[in-house]
Amino acid sequence: ETLFVSDPKALQHILHTSRYHYPKINGYRNDNHRIFGKSVVPVEGKAHQRQRKVLNHAFSISELKTFLPLFQRSTTRVNSNDKTMKALGLNSSEYKVIDVLGWLFRFALDVIRQAAFENNFGALDEDDNVLTQILRHMK
Q: What is the pLDDT of residues 114-131, one digit of tens each?
A: 888 887 777 776 666 677
Burial level of 126, CB count in 10 A (0-12/13-18/19+)?
middle
CA distances from 19 to 7, 49, 71, 79, 87 (A): 16, 11, 29, 38, 40
Model confidence pLDDT, tens digit, residues 52-64: 888 888 888 998 8
Cα gap 81→85, rounded to integer Å:
6
pLDDT of residue 110: 82
7 pLDDT higher than 90: yes
pTM: 0.52
pLDDT classification of 38: cutoffs 50, 70, 90: confident
Q: Average pLDDT over the chain, rounded to whole?
A: 79
pLDDT of residue 136: 65
